[in-house]
């Protein structure tokens, strides 16, 4: 790369000399014209970025562009690799992160099984991505607005969205905050500043940008966090959002969970370039790729991104992780990937275990306490689950509510003339 640049510069120098000679012969100054055009292109077309001409016919070969590195703080054994990168989370925060990941994992197992037994209609687990959720959530302010895709419930749990609410939503019972209108996993909560999930992929991304713009105008110091998957990043709405965020300078962070698959589609059928992060700079976004199974890396990246976003510098974070579970309860992932591959990730690159070893090193983890906690946790989840199962549904007339701000039923009365 470097050598080709040197080559380019040397070409520009000789051509410059030739141009001057040609200009004097023709009686007008090509150099002036060049300077004029370069200034125009730079200032008006390229956001002030310096641009030059080249007489070197050379395409950018995508395979030769350096691949963005994956930022990490700890290794697989939870060992901090560069002490300057240690965020020095206190014990309380670290344990809250760990306990929430562990609760999420235990809950996923129970709700997944309950779907297999036909007790809830649908479920999507978060296996393998718990680190992305908690590392990122912990780095935000609790009133930053969040738009999610559907595999981010750990973020809600961090903000106090309880098991009861999760179970009620999955059952669609009378306590469900979305009133039984949506499929399981479509959570939302104004108290948690988490916009209700919807199924159409990527639609939340340009919306997140709009909300961020409103925050910028309100000057309220808040930012918007928008989660999406590697598959969603292919939707037109992702393009729209990245572009809008950069041109309108919105306080927003795009957090991409790149877990290797969109249902059965592997990422090498999803994009041809350097992942999702490889697109960031092209849009004018501050971009980083992080190890999504490293809680501390996610934490540091989001914290730093938040600092940028609040200055209206939109950021893109691509968290590299792996979807350990099936896509959903309607999917059998062994149809398109090997169980060995899944096992390798689950056993060797598990974000919860990795964080656990970090806790151990700090002397904050105790095997016996952990085992008791897990037992209690499981009991509690089952209790909440059975309660949720027993809770009744709302009245069927609820189906007509909230279509508009006021109740509209088109045919109110028959006109008196029609008997």
Partner 1 sequence: MNLCQTLNNAMDIAMEKDPTACVLGEDVAFGGVFRCTVGLRDKYGADRVFNTPLCEQGIAGFGIGLAVAGATAIAEIQFGDYIFPAFDQFVNEAAKYRYRSGNMFNCGKVTFRTACGAVGHGGLYHSQSPEGYFAHASGLRIVYPRGPIMAKGLLLSCVRDDNPCLFLEPKVLYRLGSEEVPVADYTIPLSKAEVVREGKDLTMVAWGTQVHVLLEAAEMAKEKLGVECEVIDLRTILPWDIDTVATSVCKTGKLIVSHEAPQTQGFGGEISSTIQEQCFLNLEAPITRICGWDTPFPHVYEPFYIPSKWRVFDAIKKLSHY
Positions touching partner 1 (CB under 8 A) are 145, 176-179, 181-182, 186, 188-190, 195-196, 198, 200, 203, 205-218, 236-237, 239-241, 243-244, 247-248, 401-405, 408, 410-415, 417-419
Shortest separation between residue 161's beta carbon and partner 1, angstroms: 12
Shortest separation between residue 207's beta carbon and partner 1, angstroms: 4
Nearer to partner 1, 42 or 182 (CB): 182
Nearer to partner 1, 59 or 408 (CB): 408
Shortest separation between residue 416's beta carbon and partner 1, angstroms: 8
Tokens 């151990």 found at: 360
Shortest separation between residue 358's beta carbon and partner 1, angstroms: 36
Nearer to partner 1, 17 or 418 (CB): 418
Nearer to partner 1, 23 or 248 (CB): 248
Nearer to partner 1, 200 or 396 (CB): 200
Nearer to partner 1, 223 or 290 (CB): 223
**Rounded to whole angstroms, how far apart are CA atoms 198 and 149?**
7
Shortest separation between residue 307's beta carbon and partner 1, angstroms: 21
Shortest separation between residue 328's beta carbon and partner 1, angstroms: 19
Shortest separation between residue 124's beta carbon and partner 1, angstroms: 17
Shortest separation between residue 46's beta carbon and partner 1, angstroms: 15
Nearer to partner 1, 167 or 320 (CB): 167
CA proximity to 53, closest of 35, 77, 26, 68:
35
> Are 302 and 73 within 8 A, CB to CB?
no
Nearer to partner 1, 52 or 220 (CB): 220
SS (H, E, C) the chain: CHHHHHHHHHHHHHHHHHHHHHHHHHCCCHHHHHHHHHHHHHHHHCCCCCCCCCCCCCCCCHHHCCCCCCECCECCCCCECCHHHCCCCCHHHHHHHHHHHHHHHHHHHHHHHHHHCCCCCCCCCCCCCHHHHHHHHHHCCCCCEEECCCCCHHHHHHCCCCHHHHHHHHHCCCCCCCCCCCCCCCCCECCCCEECCCCCCCCHHHHHHHHHHHHHHHCCCCCEEEEEECCHHHCHHHHHHHHHHHHCCCCEEEEEEECCEECCEEHHHCCCCCCCHHHHHHHCCEEEEEECCCHHHHHHHHHHHHHHHCCCCCEEEEEECCCCCCCCCCCCHHHCCCHHHHHHHHHHCCHHHHHHHHHHHCCCCCHHHHHHHHHHHHHHHHHHHHHHHHCCCCCHHHHHCCCCCCCCCCCCCCCCCCC
Nearer to partner 1, 145 or 155 (CB): 145
Shortest separation between residue 356's beta carbon and partner 1, angstroms: 35
């Amino acid at each position: 790369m470097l050598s080709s640049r040197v080559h380019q510069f040397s070409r520009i120098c000789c051509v410059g000399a030739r141009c001057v000679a040609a200009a004097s012969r023709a009686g007008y100054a090509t150099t002036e014209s060049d300077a004029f055009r370069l200034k125009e292109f730079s200032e008006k077309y390229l956001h002030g970025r310096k641009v030059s001409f080249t007489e070197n016919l050379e395409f950018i070969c995508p395979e030769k562009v350096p691949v963005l590195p994956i930022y990490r703080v700890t290794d697989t054994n939870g060992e901090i690799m560069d002490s300057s990168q240690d965020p020095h989370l206190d014990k309380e925060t670290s344990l809250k992160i760990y306990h929430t990941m562990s609760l999420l994992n235990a809950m996923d197992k129970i709700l997944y099984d309950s779907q297999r037994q036909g007790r809830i209609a649908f479920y999507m687990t978060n296996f393998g991505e718990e680190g992305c959720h908690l590392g990122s959530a912990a780095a935000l302010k609790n009133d930053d607005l969040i738009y999610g895709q559907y595999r981010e419930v750990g973020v809600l749990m961090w903000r106090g969205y309880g098991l009861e609410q999760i179970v009620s939503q999955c059952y669609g019972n009378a306590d469900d905050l979305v009133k039984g209108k949506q499929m399981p996993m479509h959570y939302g909560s104004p108290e948690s500043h988490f916009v209700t999930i919807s199924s159409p992929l990527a639609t939340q991304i340009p919306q997140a940008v709009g909300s961020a713009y409103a925050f910028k105008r309100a000057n309220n110091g808040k930012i918007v966090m928008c989660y999406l998957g590697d598959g969603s990043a292919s939707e037109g709405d992702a393009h729209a959002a990245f572009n809008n965020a950069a041109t309108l300078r919105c306080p927003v962070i795009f957090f991409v969970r790149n877990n290797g698959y969109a249902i059965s589609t592997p990422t090498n059928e999803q994009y041809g370039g350097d992942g999702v992060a490889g697109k960031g700079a092209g849009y004018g976004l501050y971009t980083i790729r992080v190890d999504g199974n490293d809680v501390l890396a996610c934490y540091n990246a989001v914290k730093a991104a938040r600092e940028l976003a609040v200055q209206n510098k939109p950021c893109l974070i691509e968290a590299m992780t792996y979807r350990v579970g099936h896509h959903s309860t309607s999917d059998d992932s062994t149809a398109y990937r090997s169980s060995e591959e899944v096992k390798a990730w689950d056993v060797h690159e598990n974000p919860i275990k990795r964080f656990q070893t970090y806790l151990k090193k700090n002397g904050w983890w105790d095997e016996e306490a952990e085992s008791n906690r897990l037992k209690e946790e499981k009991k509690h989840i089952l209790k909440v689950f059975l309660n949720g199962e027993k809770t009744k549904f709302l009245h069927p007339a609820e189906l007509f509510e909230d279509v508009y701000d006021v109740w509209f039923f088109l045919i109110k009365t028959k006109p008196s003339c029609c008997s």
